Amino acid sequence: MATTHAVPPGGDVSPAAPRKRLVLLLAGAAGCLDAVGYLMLGLFTANMTGNTILLGLSVGREAWADALHNIVAIAAFVAGAGAGTVSTRGIRRISHGLGLEAAVLAGAVAVWAFFGAPRGRIPEPPVYWLIALLSAAMGIQSATVRRVGEQRIATTYVTGTLTALATDTASDLFDRWSAARAAAKTSRAGPAAPRERTTSAAASRALMTGLWAVYLLGALIGGFLEKHWAMWTAAAPILVLLSVTASDLAHGRREVALR
């Protein structure tokens, strides 16, 4: 049976969570791009924690060129997150943000193709454009999935995912142990978690485990392809983004047709 979504006052609609397979594809694309960015540029395009540490190290060692690279990456990521927020404001689909991200990545490939050396290295100052475009693309994706989907899901970094996985697993095991202990003391079934809640928790843990694994797989693929294709490797994430965008748009049309 088709479901309808009430529109709150002001005309905004509540966010719709991206389907799980699409989220996993986005995580793989992000892992690939982060690997390419690290290998070609010596910094992360999505991990701003790492770039902040690298910035501090660069300043401490008076490596001013490296410090500027990290500043550009952080600033571009923040700008991209802002752009992703604006592009998805008041809508329920992730296609708007992902389409913008794909266009930014295509621009990065064009910059490298025009300025890049045979092994894919790019001279200064054009390298700043490449850093900015790749980091902005990851900012767009981070904001898009955060605004149009479940708040706990992240596709461009995994520290929070692993933290949530560990805490949820520990809490579930503790609850089970407490219930079993209570049941043993009273010689009757203790207050167990509702089946729906247990199933939901298991599905959430499976999704978070999948996100980590696919992110790792994306980094592995990105590292392998970068050795042979240099920046052309970014074409693979672009194709993923376009596929996810097309799938999301098609899903939206089906939802409208069913209402």
d(CA 59, CA 77): 20
pTM here is 0.82
The per-residue pLDDT for range 133-175, each reduced to its tens digit, is: 999 999 999 999 886 555 568 899 888 889 888 998 898 888 8
Contact 54, 66 (CB under 8 A): yes
In terms of Cβ atoms closer than 10 Å to its own Cβ (0-12, 13-18, 19+), residue 1 is exposed
Q: Name the architecture of domain 20-247.
A: Up-down Bundle (1.20)
**Tokens coding 39:** 């290998």
The string of pLDDT tens digits covering residues 60-98 is 999 999 999 999 999 999 999 999 999 888 776 788 899
